[in-house]
Amino acid sequence: MANNQAFSESYRDVVREDKVKIDGTHQTVGLQAPDYSFRIGGARKFFVEAKKPSVNIREAAEPAYQIRRYAYTAKLPLSILTNFEEFASLSVYNLNTVVQKIIDRIVFLRIAEDRGIEDENILLTVAKTSNIYEKLNLLFTKANVKYNSGLFSYIDWIEKVIIEDKVLSNIIVNLYYPECPYEFSVLPIEILGSIYERFLGNTIRFRTVKGDTHTAVVEEKPEVKKAGGVYYTPQYIVDYIVKNSVGEKVKNKKPEEIAAIKICDPACGSGSFLVGAYQYLLNYHLDYYTQEKNIKASLKNKKIFEAGHNAYKLTIDEKQRILCSSIFGVDIDNQAVEVTKLSLYLKLLENESRESSEQLFKYSDMALLPSLEDNIKCGNSLIGRDFYSQPNLNLTDDDRIKVNCFGWEKDGFPDIF
């Protein structure tokens, strides 16, 4: 603060009352000031907003929204709020993360209900009570034990957010008949993917309008706006490309030969091509195992089980093995990575019904869902780690997040490349 090292003003570590233009309802409200700006080499790293010790920063909404607004406007990923007794660390990226996590979990459980893998109306029952988010977290905890995939893994700050009952109740109730016209047990994952593509084109941020500090706005991401919107690949094009690429590669091969083939989409988006490739492999393996010459050995080795008279299905172990050994993807957008994982999980459980759910657990010594952390990764597949070694690069943390360099051999899939 005292600048004892006598740095020039532009290179001071701490600057008081750094002015930031705050944009309101399509108007410039004016120059407002966070209390302190912390810098390295003249580049802003984070803001600190200091309140009186009498201000309860755990419960008072206004200070939190105020510092978030400053950080968002200055494009900083981190901001600090303090009352000189304790600190609160706020990141603008957390807002989008928590929204997506909760939506993904609710959607997965709702589809699992209609497929008979979960009990009926588990979400609807919770939605008709109070303290809904607290009870949802109990469901998520149980689901984490059951599925053990990362989708429901415990994340402290996500579990501790506060969400009004009215908001969650409205979302959940509208996933059930008669408000919802869809039967999720037969909803193609490809349609869900097209819906998520629209979701991925948007971002959520806080905005203060006329003193209302609880306003969240949904906006198109800058790169989507520049491109003129989100474009989703039609399913027939996905099927055509998969058939003429993956299909040609695996033609006439045995499962052990296919296991050595790795399919990677370097810009996977919501996972449409990976889901298509996975479906093709599932169909191919089932056809192979149910050939007259292979069927006895396939039953003995638990590659398939008899789901009805002369009707067979792949065991959950075999579905998992195919997924984990063959399907890989990368995307620069972490939200897209999470959607791809969700789509693949739902594809894994597709065509499973209440009648066959017992078979799922009977024939599996593994968790119901595998971890896809080593299969689907976040990064810029076009820019390697050596990008950061350039002299005089001077990237801010926000710049680094946007560039999101990715090393194929180290960050990606070292066992493959």
Mean per-residue pLDDT, 217-239: 78
126, with CB counted inside 10 A (0-12, 13-18, 19+), is buried
Q: What would the pLDDT profile of 373-410 be if each residue is shown by its tens digit?
A: 999 999 999 999 888 888 887 776 667 777 889 988 88
Q: What would the pLDDT profile of 97-150 be if each residue is shown by its tens digit?
A: 888 899 999 999 999 898 888 889 999 999 999 999 999 999 999 998 888 778
Q: What would the pLDDT profile of 248-277 be if each residue is shown by its tens digit?
A: 999 999 999 999 999 999 999 889 999 999
Of 258 and 366, the one with more pLDDT: 258
Mean per-residue pLDDT, 284-295: 96
Three-state SS across the chain? CCCCCCCCHHHCCEEECCCEEEECCCCEEEEECCCEEEEECCEEEEEEEECCCCCCCCCCHHHHHHHHHHHHHCCCCCEEEECCCCEEEECCHHHHHHHHHHHHHHHHHHHHHHCCCCCCCHHHHHHCCCCHHHHHHHHHHHHHHHHCCCCCCCCHHHHCCCCCHHHHHHHHHCCCCCCCCCCHHHCCHHHHHHHHHHHHCEEEEEEEECCEEEEEEEEECHHHHHHCCCCCCCHHHHHHHHHHHHHHHHCCCCHHHHCCCCEEECCCCCCHHHHHHHHHHHHHHHHHHCCCCCHHHHHHCCCEEEEECCEEEECHHHHHHHHHHHEEEEECCHHHHHHHHHHHHHHHCCCCCCCCHHHHHHCCCCCCCCCCCCCEEECECCCCHHHHHCCCCCCCHHHHHHHCECCHHHHHCCCCC
Mean per-residue pLDDT, 74-94: 78
* pLDDT at residue 6 tops 80: no
* pLDDT at residue 234 tops 90: no
Per-residue model confidence (pLDDT) at position 25: 38
What is the third-level CATH fold of 9-90? Answer: tt1808, chain A (3.90.1570)
> C-alpha angle 405/322/371, rounded to 5°?
55
Distance (Å, whole) CA 170 – CA 166: 6
Distance (Å, whole) CA 64 – CA 326: 45
Mean per-residue pLDDT, 278-300: 96
Per-residue model confidence (pLDDT) at position 24: 44
Distance (Å, whole) CA 359 – CA 199: 35
Sign, CA dihedral 172-176-180-185, equals positive
Of 369 and 240, the one with more pLDDT: 240
32, with CB counted inside 10 A (0-12, 13-18, 19+), is middle
Q: What would the pLDDT profile of 197-213 be if each residue is shown by its tens digit?
A: 777 788 887 665 565 55
Per-residue model confidence (pLDDT) at position 254: 97
CB 385 within 8 A of CB 407: yes
- Phi, psi of 312, rounded to the nearest 5 degrees: -130, 155
* pLDDT at residue 190 tops 70: yes
**Token pair recorded at residue 113:** 């209900």
* pLDDT at residue 223 tops 80: no
Q: What would the pLDDT profile of 321-336 be if each residue is shown by its tens digit?
A: 999 999 999 999 888 8
Per-residue model confidence (pLDDT) at position 400: 76
Per-residue model confidence (pLDDT) at position 155: 84
Percent of the chain surpassing pLDDT 70: 85
Domain boundaries, the chain: 9-90, 94-187, 234-412
CB 213 within 8 A of CB 61: yes
Per-residue model confidence (pLDDT) at position 168: 95
Per-residue model confidence (pLDDT) at position 375: 95
Q: What would the pLDDT profile of 11-57 be if each residue is shown by its tens digit?
A: 778 887 655 555 443 333 444 678 888 888 778 888 898 888 988 87
| Integer Rg of the chain from CA | 25
Distance (Å, whole) CA 131 – CA 219: 29
Q: What mean pLDDT is reported for the chain?
A: 83
CA 392 to chain centre: 33
* pLDDT at residue 309 tops 90: no
